[in-house]
A and B are shown apart, each in its own frame.
Chain A
Amino acid sequence: MNNGEYESDRGNTVDSDSPSNESRRAFFKTTGATILAAPAILTSRESSAQAIPDESLPPSPPTRPWQRELPEEVEPLEQTDLSEDAYPPQGVANTVNGECGRNDHQRWDDFFGAHPLESGQADTYELRAEAITDYEFHPDYPKQLVWHYIGKNSSGGDYHNPTFHARYGRPVIVRLYNELPDNHTGFGTPEISMHLHNLHTPSESDGFPGDYFSATKAGPTLSGPGQFKDHFYPNVYAGYDEFPKSAKNPVGGDKREALGTLWYHDHCLDFTAPNANRGLAGFYLLYDELDSGDEHDPNPAALRLPSGAYDYPLAFQDKRFDANGMHIFEEMNSEGTLGDKVTVNGIIEPVLKVASRKYRFRLLNAGIARFYQFHLVAANNVQQSFTYIANDGNLLPKPLLNRKNFRLGVAERADIVVDFSLYPLGTELYLVNRWEQTSSRGPKGVKAPGMKVLKFIVDREPDEPDVSQVPAKLRPIRRPTATEIATAPVRYWRFERKNGMWAINDKFVNVRSAGANMAIGSFEIWELDNPSGGWSHPVHIHFEEGLILNRYVDGIEVPVPVHERGRKDVYRLGPNEKVRLFMRFRDFPGKYVMHCHNMIHEDHAMMVRWDILG
C-alpha cells in the first residue's frame, strides 16, 4: 500500500479510489453521454466544486510546531454532590429556583422515587459554560477568548472541557449553568443546549437544538429561561423495555448495545458551528462490565483494554485565525469558515509523551466541516500499524488488526490501540492528516505526506509491566433478523442543496413539528441519500444507533467497510452516496433530530425532527 492510499475496507480488495477520483470518474461517465444531458453535466461540475480552494481568506499565520505538551493523563471529572445542593435535582424542572423550563425527566420515579434526588442515588456533576478571555491555542498566537465547559478537577481547581467517566448501571445527573455573557458580541450566541452524542438519553436531556437556554432567553421548545438545566443520563443499555432490569441483567437493556466513546457539545439551534467552534465540547466515556476501564480487572469477562493514563481521548477541531492570530468564524459566509489549523484537545500541534506500552486512543472529529484521514507515521513518513477497536464509540465484534489509517467525518469517533513498546525510547511518531480539503463542502484527494497534527515521543518505560490486552473478541453485536429486515418499513431521506439552501426531503428544520413519527418499540430501514454531486454530508441520528445494511456509490452497491459494520451514529455520505440502515426506536418517547453534522449545514436548516411516540 502506498503512503497516500486509504484502506477502504471494501471487501478484500484494496480500493485506492479517493472521493475525488470517484467524482472524476462520474464526470467522465456523464461527459460520455449525449450533449442533451446538460443538467447532468452541470451536476458533475458541481461534484468537482469541492476542488475549489477557499481563497476568500488568507491562511492562518504560521506556528512553530511542538511547543506545548498535552498532559500525560486525562483525569476524570470530579463529582459535585447535587443531593446536598440547596436545590437537589428533581423530576420536574425547578423553574422557581432558576432551572430553565425543560420537560419532566422521564422515568424519574422508577430510578429515584417520587422525590428529589437523594445522596448516593446517582453520580452528579456540575458544569459551567464560561467565557475564558486568556486562552492560548499556541504560544505564537495571542491569548484570546474561548467558551469552555468548566468542571472541577481532583484538586478542586477548574477543569476545562472535562472528560466524564461514567458507568452503565450508575445514572448520571449533570447540572449545567450558563454563565456566558449575554451581551457577547461576535460569533457565537450565549444561549446553549448541551447534546450528549450519542447516549441513549431521553429527549429532555438530549440537548435538543430548540432547548437552548440562558437566564434571559428560552429556546422555542422550552417553557422558560433559566440559569441552569439538569440533564439525566440513565446509563442503561438501549433495549431497556425489551430486556428489563433483573438480577441477571442488573443494568437493564441489551448489553450488546453499549457505547464507550461519547462526546458532549453545544447544539444551539442555528448556532452550533460558531458555539462548538468557540470551544464548547468534551468527552463522556462510558464503561461497563466488559469494557471496564481496568486493565487489571480480575473479572474474566472484562476485556482489559489499556486503561487509566493509557486510555486517552483526543479531540480534533479545525479553526481559522486572522493575521493577528485571533480565532475567526465568518457567520456572514454562507458556507462558513473551514479551519486550516487543527487543535488537539484545544492545542495547536501539541506533543504527547508516552510510555513504551499499549495505549487506547479515542479520536474524535469535533470540528465544523473538516474530514480527516489519519495515518500514524515515523519521522521518515513510513506508516505504522495499530489496532482499530471501535467506531462511533461502539466496540466492534472483533478488532481490526494492522491498520495503517482511518477516516473521520465530522463527529465520527475511532478507538485505536497503539503499542509503543515496539519502539525504542526516544522514538518520535506523528499523527498526520492526508485527506486534502479546501472548502467546507467536503474533502477531495488523499495526498502524502499530509499535515502533522500531533507528535508522540516514546519517552519512558512504564511504571509497571503492561498487562493490558486487545482480545480477539470484543463486544458481540445484535443484527436484525432476516424477517425483521424483510418486514421493516423503509423510510427515505434525501440530503440536498438547492438555491443556496440545504434541505432534507425538500424540507427545512422545524423544531415544533416532527417529520417522522415512530411507534415506540418499532423498527425501520432508513435510506440516507446524498444525490447532490459536490457535497459531503456526515449525517447524525440522535438517540438511536443504526446498522448499515448496504452502501451505494453512484447507485451501485459497494461493500460496507469493515469498520462500519458495527453500530454507528454518524453516516458519512460522500458525493452521490447512499446508505441503508436498520434502526430501532426504543424506551424513551419524545423529540429527537437527524441532521447533517457539517455544522454549517445543520445550522442552516439541514435537520429534521423525528419523534418516538409512547
Chain B
Amino acid sequence: MNKENNEPVGSRREILAGMGLAALGLIGLNSAWQKLGFNEIKPALNPNIRKYKPADSATPFPNVTLYTHEGEAVRFYDDLIRDKVVAINMMYSQCSGICPKSTANLREVRNMLGERAGRDVFMYSITLDPKRDTPELLKQYADRYDIQDGWKFLTGAPEDIELIRYRLGFYDVEEDVDNIKENHTGMVRIGNDERKRWSMAPALSDPWQIMTTINHLDPKVVHTAEAHT
C-alpha cells in the first residue's frame, strides 16, 4: 500500500475480492449487504466463541481425527501436538490472498529447520476449505510448493476443522468479519505443549523472525539466532 492510501484494514480491493469469491458467490448479493452490516448497526459477537469454548482451559486442543496430505488418519492432540513444539497455520488450496506468500515463507522456515523438522519441531497447515481440500488436493498443493517431510497438510470434517480453528484462536470476535474467508488469519500458532506456552507470529514475517519464535519455544535451542542462518 502506498503512503497516501489511508484505507483501513480489509482494503477495498480485498473486501471486493472477498465478496466476489465468497460472499457474492455463496450467499448472494442481498444477504451480502446484510453481512456487511447495512441493515444493522450493532455488530454481533461471534456466537461460535462460546460454542467452541473448551470446558477446561487446561485441555484446549480437541482430539478429533484429521487426515494428512499423505492420506494418514491422525488425532489432532495425541498425534500432532502432545508434548511437541509445533507451528500451525491455516490455509486453503484455492486461496489467492495471503496463502501463497505464507506457504512460501513457511517453506523457508521448513528449510531452516533442516533435520529438526519432524523430529524436534512439527509444522502443520490446516485447510480452511475441508470440503474441497481432500488429502489428494493437499498432496498436489504440497508438491506444487515442493514441501519436504516434517510438514503435514491437514483436512477433516468441516465441523472438526471449525472447532480447531476456534481453539487455536484463529477467529474474529465479529461474526460478520469472521464469516468472510478472505479475512482469515495469517498468524502461525507457535507453541510448546509440554510447557503449555504459546505465542504466534505472522506467516508473512521474515522467515528468520518466525524461526526465532520457534527456537524460543524449543527447549533444545540455546541460542535463538544461531540455530538458523
Contacts and interface: CB of A to CB of B under 8 A. Distances in A.
A189 B216 contact: yes
B4 to A, nearest CB: 9
Interface in A173-193: 182-189, 191
A538 interface: no
B131 interface: no
Contacts of A186: 196-197
A346 B200 CA distance: 28
B146 to A, nearest CB: 25
Given A41-B36, A500-B185, A512-B208, A270 B199 contact: yes
A604 B187 contact: yes
B45 interface: yes
B11 A39 contact: yes
B145 interface: no
Nearest to B167: A332
Interface in A52-71: 52-56
B162 to A, nearest CB: 16
B184 A335 contact: no
Given A35-B38, A269-B212, A55 B224 contact: no
Interface residues of B, number: 69
B172 interface: yes
Contacts, number: 200
Contacts of A531: 6-8
Contact of B174 (A27, A46, A56, A219): A46
Interface string A202-223: 0000000010100011111110
A183 B37 CA distance: 48
Contacts of B204: 501, 508
B42 to A, nearest CB: 7
B55 interface: no
A271 B199 contact: yes
A97 B47 CA distance: 55
Nearest to B182: A499
A95 interface: no
Interface in A292-339: 322, 328, 330-335
Contacts of A270: 199, 201, 213, 216
Given A269-B212, A506-B1, A218 B8 contact: no
A492 B3 contact: yes
Interface in A253-289: 269-271
Interface in A490-506: 492, 494, 496-501, 503, 506
Nearest to B97: A499
A206 to B, nearest CB: 18
A593 to B, nearest CB: 13
Contact of B212 (A49, A182, A225, A511): A511
A513 B212 CA distance: 13
B27 interface: no
| 5 A-B pairs closest in CB distance | A500-B185, A220-B225, A499-B186, A532-B8, A331-B198
Interface of A: 27, 35, 38-39, 41-43, 45-46, 48-49, 51-56, 182-189, 191, 210, 212, 216-222, 224-225, 269-271, 322, 328, 330-335, 439, 492, 494, 496-501, 503, 506, 508-513, 529, 531-533, 555, 603-605
